[in-house]
Structure 1
Amino acid sequence: MMTFKERIFRKEDPGVYEQKDAHLERTLRVRDFLALGLGTIVSTAIFTLPGTVAAQHAGPAVVISFLAAGLVAGLVAFAYAEMASALPFAGSAYSWINVIFGEVFGWISGWALLAEYFIAVAFVGSGLSANFRGLIAPLGWTLPKMLANPFGTDGGVIDLISVIAILAVAFLLSRGATETSRIENVLVVFKVLVILLFIVVGCTAIKPENYVPFIPEFHLNADGSAFGGWQGIYAGVSMIFLAYIGFDSIAANSAEAKEPAKTMPRGILGSLAIAVVLFMAVSLVLVGMFHYPEYANNAEPVGWALRQSGHPIIAAIVSSVACIGMFTALIGMMMAGSRLIYSFGRDGLLPGWLGKIDKKHLPNNALLTLTIFAVVIGSIFPFAFLSQLISAGTLIAFMFVSLGIYGLRKREGKDIAEPGFKMPFYPVMPALAFLGSLIVFMGLSNDAKIYAFGWFVFGLIVYFCYGMRRSALSKAK
């Protein structure tokens, strides 16, 4: 009989995961993963964060904040690329860490990601609803407050548009990954073209004096947060990092990738590289069009800047595309989140029916569960509250994956096949990825850290009271 220590530190055999995930059809190609990554990363944040962070923290140096956040995300993405190439299983960080460090660490990293997906789906649904209502308001179409806001917020009972959007994406995903990827690919191409249109048009309205001083003098805002100097740039990095975490959604679907040893690294690194360039370009153009204080408390800085520059039609197009961008983000988040929940059920850490697939070889039980929780969370909690929780859980998983490279290298070519891609500058780069994630985590608000700690404690209770005893790995032993 296993001791308590043996139970929680037991490691899954990668061959077992290969067998368990073999019934998931490998249909996704590089272009599908590029679209999935860009659809998740380049969502509505690209139309809002550049102006918001410039006004609140960094001024014109918001470009440096986006670059720094992108560099940290890039370091972690290299670790993700090697992991996904070597261990192309559903569940991304959860499954990888289960193989490398053991079940309890896998559960912690997976539970941290679960918070991201539950909350991110609700968060994006709420944002889509707000943008859509703003888009139709000039037409005289409005919803009563009880159907436009979450329960208890400004007289709200349920955010109806958010619920409809989440249910629509769930229905689409239940039809299959191939059909969904076709729609995602078209929407993402359209979205990138519109972003490029803004960059081209915005360049005609740039005034060089708006970039001076590029790094404003440091002072504290009224709420105690930093503005200006390197402190303001750092505050901007922690706020911006939320926009870059979407590449985990690619890794979560690696069990459905064609030739994952090549497909996964190209999809993960390629989508992030394109996203960083687009974010930096949009932020550079935006702060050049108008002086950064004018974006303070502006919910749609890109659309506002275009209208003030005499381009109302393009502004309307951008606002419409912001809704499309959120829809593509919902697809990526719900697809990845359902695969994570499926992997928990597959391993017995949550009820086994979550790990079942239907006649189409799809984990629709897990998808249904994610949909219900996202609808409930989005109906109860306001948008501002949800935004604080997303980055914390993901950064915890990023730190585990970065350190996991050291354990992976010892086993490559032995019980784990040699991957098609390896993280360069080993052993330095994994340490830099870990430290970068830790530094960004420390820059999060105290509320975000407290909520993350509460979710972590709740997860350990679930594991020790349910998962540890019912684990498929425990039964196999």
Structure 2
Amino acid sequence: MGLWSKFLEREDASTYISKDADMPRILHTKDFLALGVGTIVSTAIFTLPGVVAANYAGPGVVFSFLLAAVVAGFVALAYAEMASTLPVAGSAYSWINVLFGEGFGWIAGWALLAEYIIAVAFVGSGLSANFRGLISQIGINLPPALSGALDTHSLFGWASSVSGPKGGFVDIVAFIAIILVAWLLSHGVHEASRVEVTLVVIKVLAVLLFIVVGLTAIHPENYSPFVPAYNPNGTTLGGFQGIWAGVSGIFLAYIGFDSIASNSAEAVNPQKTMPRGILGSLLIAVVLFVGVSLVLVGMFKYTKYVDNAEPVGWALRQAGHPIVAATVSTIAVVGMLTALIGMMMAGSRLLYSFGRDGMLPKWLGQVTENKGLPNRGLLVLTVVAVLVGSFFPFSFLSELISAGTLIAFIFVSLAMYSLHKREGKDLPEAGFKMPGYPVTPAIGAILSAWVFWGLSAEAKIYALIWFIIGIVVYFLYGAKHSVLRSKSGK
């Protein structure tokens, strides 16, 4: 069998459905809405509106959020149809395996693996930074050795821009947060979902509290000019260029909806719950992001948010609402656990899928006997995320989250053409149909590629290195141990 033929060999969807049968279907629409909103509306909503307004778009940051939502929306429509037709663990990895072949499926899955691992570490570090900022207000400061990632500049002479704080050894708060969420997930999806729903409700109420209180401090003159003139040498980029630069920076905030799809093997009536969860969570997130952006740039001139790592809390304090600021900041820290829950659930299901198919050691593809949980995949994800998030600096890899996800988005959008040809034949009829087919999948793929092109050169280089590693792993291990290959006797 030729190398290319092996790369294109496809798995039967019924095999995945049969293998995933041990994972109980207990998640409803409210659970997926909580997972989606909890993952999307995380650290970004309290930081990105101010950062993007100050550096790129001014009050036009609203347009950046809306444009990013349009791109994410086209892809989310494809995800909704895919998940309703193929409700199996692993999302894009499993879908592309069925529709395009094992090799392409591995590439899509490897891209998502980068997203989940780095996102867990990223959120853990963000939670830690915000928590340490909160306790410092009451005079409590952790020692430098426990306050940040390894000081690689001191050890190896690497550039300080990619290093942890001076004297740092381990980010103990990130370590504890990741371990705590892993422990919760290891005890059951139902238990984790109840915690997720509760925290998401509290977090959304905190966002609404900011919007309501912030509206009392709006100064209309701060909206003028709504889109600053283009100035490549200024503090704010401005013009359409600034708005589009903001899209590339903001897109990271929206990618969480794809994590929902990784749990579709545990969905009750996935033909309905998956589309509702994916599209509903994205819609709620867009409304909240736009609301926070409009209020934030209306409270103070957007130039006030330059180099401001905590724009929401700062604006509330400056407007004379210190108690509300402390409340919102505290809830924001606790609410970051929701993103950890969502990403760690998705990542553990993806690793389970790799093991299920023999692409990585098969013991990863086993679930617990009593609750059908992929705890071995969860263990591996936890260990890697702890190493990345607690012991090593990863700021230079943060854009790899967007890079890997955008590549998966392109795959899923293009896979819609293969899916439509097979629905009602060897694949079930979809419970949700992507509107505007066949035009909308192409738009989703083109827009995703456009956003990818707008990422930094470093992000593209890191993505290339990650994919080279993935291809090596595939040919040295996955292609030789593939369950699909052994099943076909090839």
TM-score bin, normalised by smaller chain:
over 0.9
Name the residue aligned to 2:358. Answer: 348
SS at 1:139 equivalent: coil
Name the residue aligned to 2:211. Answer: 199
Matches within 5 A, 1:193-342: 193-221=205-233, 227-342=237-352
1:136-182 Cα distance to aligned partner (Å, 9 max, x none)? 00111111111111011211111000000000000000011011101
Measure the CA separation in 2 of the matches of 1:384 and 1:69. 22
Amino acid of the residue matched to residue 353 of structure 1?
A: W
Contact 1:170-1:334 within 8 A present in 2 as well: yes
Measure the CA separation in 1 of the matches of 2:372 and 2:78. 29
Measure the CA separation in 1 of the matches of 2:453 and 2:172. 36
Amino acid of the residue matched to residue 31 of structure 2?
A: D
After TM superposition, give the deviation of residue 7 of structure 1 in Å.
1.1
Measure the CA separation in 2 of the matches of 1:256 and 1:196. 31
2:188 equivalent to 1:188:
no
Name the residue aligned to 2:15. Answer: 16
Q: Report the number of matched residues.
A: 474
Measure the CA separation in 2 of the matches of 1:35 and 1:12. 31
Name the residue aligned to 2:154. Answer: none
Measure the CA separation in 2 of the matches of 1:380 and 1:50. 29
Measure the CA separation in 1 of the matches of 2:148 and 2:33. 33
Measure the CA separation in 2 of the matches of 1:221 and 1:55. 14
Match of 1:397 among 408, 424, 434: 408
Amino acid of the residue matched to residue 68 of structure 1?
A: L
Of 387-396 and 362-371, more deviation after overlay is shown by: 387-396
Measure the CA separation in 1 of the matches of 2:139 and 2:320. 23
Amino acid of the residue matched to residue 319 of structure 2?
A: S
After TM superposition, give the deviation of residue 383 of structure 1 in Å.
5.2
Amino acid of the residue matched to residue 472 of structure 1?
A: V
1:376-409 Cα distance to aligned partner (Å, 9 max, x none)? 0113433532422210000000000000000000
After TM superposition, give the deviation of residue 261 of structure 1 in Å.
0.4
| Structure 1 unpaired stretches of 5+ | none
Amino acid of the residue matched to residue 204 of structure 1?
A: T
Distance 1:380 1:386, change over 3 A: farther
Name the residue aligned to 2:184. Answer: 172
Distance 1:464 1:127, change over 3 A: same
TM-score normalised per structure 1: 0.98
Contact 2:397-2:462 within 8 A present in 1 as well: no
Name the residue aligned to 2:435. Answer: 424
Following TM superposition, where does structure 1 have runs of at least 4 consecutive aligned residues deviating by more than 6 angstroms?
none
2:407 equivalent to 1:408:
no
**CA RMSD for the aligned pairs?**
1.0
Measure the CA separation in 1 of the matches of 2:226 and 2:426. 52
Percent identity, aligned pairs only?
Answer: 66
| Structure 2 unpaired stretches of 5+ | 152-163
Measure the CA separation in 2 of the matches of 1:121 and 1:53. 23
Amino acid of the residue matched to residue 79 of structure 2?
A: Y
Measure the CA separation in 2 of the matches of 1:231 and 1:470. 48
Name the residue aligned to 2:160. Answer: none
1:282-325 Cα distance to aligned partner (Å, 9 max, x none)? 00000000000100000100000000000000000111111122
Name the residue aligned to 2:159. Answer: none
Amino acid of the residue matched to residue 273 of structure 1?
A: L
Match of 2:482 among 468, 471, 477: 471
Contact 2:397-2:459 within 8 A present in 1 as well: no
Distance 1:211 1:371, change over 3 A: same
Measure the CA separation in 1 of the matches of 2:196 and 2:312. 23
Measure the CA separation in 1 of the matches of 2:144 and 2:460. 32
Amino acid of the residue matched to residue 300 of structure 1?
A: E
Name the residue aligned to 2:378. Answer: 367
SS at 1:389 equivalent: helix
Contact 1:123-1:386 within 8 A present in 2 as well: no
Contact 2:81-2:275 within 8 A present in 1 as well: yes
SS at 1:220 equivalent: coil
Amino acid of the residue matched to residue 177 of structure 1?
A: V
Of 214-223 and 340-349, more deviation after overlay is shown by: 214-223
Matches within 5 A, 1:120-199: 120-152=119-151, 153=164, 154-199=166-211
2:33 equivalent to 1:71:
no
Of 261-270 and 385-394, more deviation after overlay is shown by: 385-394
After TM superposition, give the deviation of residue 221 of structure 1 in Å.
4.6
Measure the CA separation in 2 of the matches of 1:379 and 1:313. 31
1:184-227 Cα distance to aligned partner (Å, 9 max, x none)? 0011001111111110110110111000001101112579xx71
1:70-89 Cα distance to aligned partner (Å, 9 max, x none)? 01000000000000000000
Match of 2:389 among 378, 395, 406: 378
Distance 1:96 1:303, change over 3 A: same
Measure the CA separation in 1 of the matches of 2:384 and 2:180. 15
Amino acid of the residue matched to residue 139 of structure 2?
A: G
Measure the CA separation in 1 of the matches of 2:458 and 2:466. 12
1:116-148 Cα distance to aligned partner (Å, 9 max, x none)? 001000000000000000000011111111111
Amino acid of the residue matched to residue 205 of structure 2?
A: L
Contact 1:126-1:383 within 8 A present in 2 as well: no
Measure the CA separation in 2 of the matches of 1:119 and 1:197. 30
Contact 1:127-1:383 within 8 A present in 2 as well: no
